């Protein structure tokens, strides 16, 4: 069945780095644009970054530009999010998604999420 499994979350101090990974299975990964979203406590799930099927295009929400990098490996069916210079406001559950729409990004299939906590 279609499955997305995130990993790599954890607790990190402000200014630190984390790398999230999402492993996809059950669908033709290289035909789908992929994205990362996040949901902070008491808030809606928000877009973070997206990458198109061929990895020739990416875009980010303004608050993470220059700090986060999305990438994918179509041979391994994975999409990663490298997060540098983390801030307490980056604390959230991070979800990867296969996208129905690239811009604006709209998820059709979601992972279970991975918690990222940034301490000040």
Residue 113's pLDDT is 97
Q: d(Cα 84, Cα 68) in Å, to the nearest integer?
A: 6
69-108: pLDDT as tens digits = 999 999 999 999 999 999 999 999 999 999 999 999 999 9
Secondary structure (3-state) at 31: helix
Residue 109's pLDDT is 94
27-76: pLDDT as tens digits = 999 999 999 999 999 999 999 999 999 999 999 999 999 999 999 999 99
Residue 108's pLDDT is 94
Q: Residues 14, 120: contact at Cβ < 8 Å?
A: yes
């Amino acid at each position: 069945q279609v499955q997305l499994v995130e990993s790599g979350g954890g607790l990190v101090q402000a200014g630190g780095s984390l790398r999230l990974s999402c492993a996809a299975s059950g669908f033709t990964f290289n035909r789908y644009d992929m994205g990362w979203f996040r949901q902070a406590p008491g808030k809606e799930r928000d877009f973070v970054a997206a990458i198109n099927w061929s990895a020739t295009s990416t875009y980010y929400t303004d608050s993470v530009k220059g700090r986060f990098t999305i990438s994918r490996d179509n041979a391994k069916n994975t999409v990663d999010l490298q997060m540098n210079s983390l801030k307490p406001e980056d604390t959230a559950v991070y979800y990867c998604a296969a996208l129905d729409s690239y811009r604006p990004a709209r998820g059709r299939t979601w992972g279970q999420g991975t918690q990222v906590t940034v301490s000040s």
